[in-house]
Amino acid sequence: MAIDFSLTQEQEALRALAHEFAEREIKPRAAELDRISDPAAIFPWDIYEKGNRLGFNKTLIPPEYGGLGLGELETCLVVEELSWADAGIGSTYFVHAMQLLTMQDAATDDQKERWFRAICEDPEERFFVSLPATEHGVAGNLQPRDLRGSAVNSGPIRPEEWATHRTVPPAEQREFTTVAVEDGDDYVINGTKRFITTGGRSKLLLTWARKGQESTDYSAMGQFLIPADALGVSYGHVEDKMGQRLMQNAEVIFDNVRVPKRDEMLELGKTPAVRGGDAEVAAVFTGIARRAYEEALAYSRIRYKGGAKIIFHQAVQTMICDMAIKVLTARLLMLRAAWQNDQRAGYTAHNNMAKIYCSDVAVDVTSKGMQVFGGYGYMRDFPMEKLYRDARLGPIYHATNEMMMVGQLVRWLASLDTIY
Ligand SMILES: Cc1cc2nc3c(=O)[nH]c(=O)nc-3n(C[C@H](O)[C@H](O)[C@H](O)COP(=O)(O)OP(=O)(O)OC[C@H]3O[C@@H](n4cnc5c(N)ncnc54)[C@H](O)[C@@H]3O)c2cc1C
């Protein structure tokens, strides 16, 4: 029997633990927390601390450092369940997990010893790792060629630019402005990062910076492990977001921050198999979509209109069926990507596909769910409008779905004659 879609007993127990936690600790409070108007006052530390005590921020850390030593598949099961109750909380764990994956691949033994252990032994149980990569002019996930465009322009697009596909932003926006300059045994880092998940809440910043003033090439990007309270690190604007408000996103500012050279990780592009967290982000949106499906189904069984419960109306039936098909397909693709990563199959297109598909499905399914609820779907007293707002982030963050397609996915597709 080569294909087995069942979870092991341990995986099912972990999934059930995460679901019970989500149901008990997150679901009853998520809507109320979501309505707090000040985005800097929302982050529910008590929920996160309890989750971390259960090991949710340590699934990927090997046991020798005190972690659970689990894989991406198990991490995705946890993230899906948490996101089922609140996607902001799910996203906080997805972004943290993504950094642990990068550290597994690119950190030295000494760095792992210090930082993995610090996460596992944190007495406050408040240890999250952020990724300060994105800047105003550059999203962290751009592909090399995007940083090396030759034509500099502003104003209307000239016809020849369409022909050569070399429309690029002005130079000052094209490059990472955060720079790491060597100074003795240290790097000195200056720059400002935008939109950073858990910015101002995390304890470690896995920071991307250009090495040297002159270098513009992607391969000259360094990754640095910087304590969040290091001298010169400060936090600016906290973003007031449409959805996923239970995670915090803030500006991270580096002002002459000294980083010992031993805290530089393997350079980007030289890392053997940096894994991207795509399966984990796909799990966030699978969780939202599943919740929307369950809410719509439950509502359709009790709402009485046109002489019958609306589940008996064919128009509603087609929406329920369409939602179910998409949720199940999304979950299969997400688990396939996670499983494949755990086999260390290398970074494959299944990751891109899972992120793109699950995030699009979440937008579609929450929109259909709102339709099933009719006017009540649009009202804040009912769950669907929050689910829709939370879902809408998916195609935008991590990397936009368009960037993923044109940056990576199409290259893989073009190298094959068929899909599998
Ligand atoms: C809630 C949230 C959390 C985030 N968390 C983090 C974080 O923790 N760390 C971090 O570093 N970043 C983070 N980001 C940043 C995120 O990765 C970027 O916002 C995202 O990659 C898009 O970049 P941008 O906002 O600059 O959009 P732009 O790059 O300005 O995109 C604008 C439009 O142009 C399209 N486009 C841009 N480039 C291309 C291309 N090469 N090919 C095709 N289409 C293209 C896009 O698809 C989009 O439609 C977060 C963003 C949000 C909204």
Q: Which CATH superfamily is domain 9-127 in?
A: Acyl-CoA dehydrogenase/oxidase, N-terminal domain (1.10.540.10)
Which ligand 1 atom is the nearest neighbour of the CA of 142?
41
pLDDT at 220: 72
**What is the dotted CATH code of the domain comprising 144-263?**
2.40.110.10
In a mutational test of the pocket of ligand 1, which residue from 131, 134, 206, 226 has the highest number of ligand atoms less than 8 Å from its CB? 134
pLDDT at 409: 86
Residues 6+ apart with CB under 8 A from 227: 203, 204, 205, 233
Confirm whether 9-127 and 278-414 share one CATH topology.
no
3-state secondary structure of 182: strand
Q: Contact 92/245 with Cβ under 8 angstroms?
A: no
Check pocket membership of 195 for ligand 1, CB cut-off 6 A. Answer: yes
pLDDT at 416: 82
Smallest CA separation from ligand 1 atom 36, residue: 403
pLDDT at 366: 98
Check pocket membership of 408 for ligand 1, CB cut-off 6 A. Answer: no
pLDDT at 417: 86
Check pocket membership of 400 for ligand 1, CB cut-off 6 A. Answer: yes
3-state secondary structure 38-71: CHHHCCCHHHHHHHHHCCCCCCCCCHHHCCCCCC
| Dist CA 386 CA 208 (whole Å) | 33
Check pocket membership of 395 for ligand 1, CB cut-off 6 A. Answer: no
In a mutational test of the pocket of ligand 1, which residue from 400, 402, 408 has the highest number of ligand atoms less than 8 Å from its CB? 400
pLDDT at 144: 39
What CATH topology corresponds to 278-414? Answer: Butyryl-CoA Dehydrogenase, subunit A; domain 3 (1.20.140)
Check pocket membership of 131 for ligand 1, CB cut-off 6 A. Answer: yes
Cα 399 to averaged position of ligand 1 atoms, centre (Å): 5
Check pocket membership of 146 for ligand 1, CB cut-off 6 A. Answer: yes
Cα-based angle 328, 325, 396 (whole degrees, multiple of 5): 70
* C-alpha dihedral (58, 59, 62, 63), degrees to nearest 10: 80
Check pocket membership of 166 for ligand 1, CB cut-off 6 A. Answer: no
Which ligand 1 atom is the nearest neighbour of the CA of 95?
8
- Residuewise pLDDT in 10s, the chain (420 residues): 788 999 999 999 999 999 999 999 999 999 999 999 999 999 999 999 999 999 999 999 999 999 999 999 999 999 999 999 999 999 999 999 999 999 998 899 999 999 999 999 999 999 999 999 998 776 655 443 333 333 344 456 666 555 554 444 444 445 678 999 999 999 999 999 999 999 999 999 999 998 876 655 556 778 999 999 999 999 999 999 999 999 999 999 999 999 999 999 976 655 544 568 999 999 999 999 999 999 999 999 999 999 999 999 999 999 999 999 999 999 999 999 999 999 987 767 899 999 999 999 999 999 999 999 999 999 999 999 999 999 999 999 998 999 889 878 888 888 888 887
Cα 403 to averaged position of ligand 1 atoms, centre (Å): 8
Closest-CA residue to 196 (of 277, 142, 146, 140): 140
| Dist CA 203 CA 126 (whole Å) | 8
This prediction's pTM: 0.93
Check pocket membership of 173 for ligand 1, CB cut-off 6 A. Answer: no
Q: Contact 300/311 with Cβ under 8 angstroms?
A: yes
Pairing of strands 233-238, 249-260: antiparallel
State which H helix or E strand residue 114 sits in.
helix 109-120
pLDDT at 152: 40
Closest-CA residue to 247 (of 396, 25, 31, 43): 43
Smallest CA separation from ligand 1 atom 25, residue: 139
Cα 331 to averaged position of ligand 1 atoms, centre (Å): 24
The domains of the chain are located at 9-127, 144-263, 278-414
pLDDT at 171: 45
State which H helix or E strand residue 204 sits in.
strand 204-211
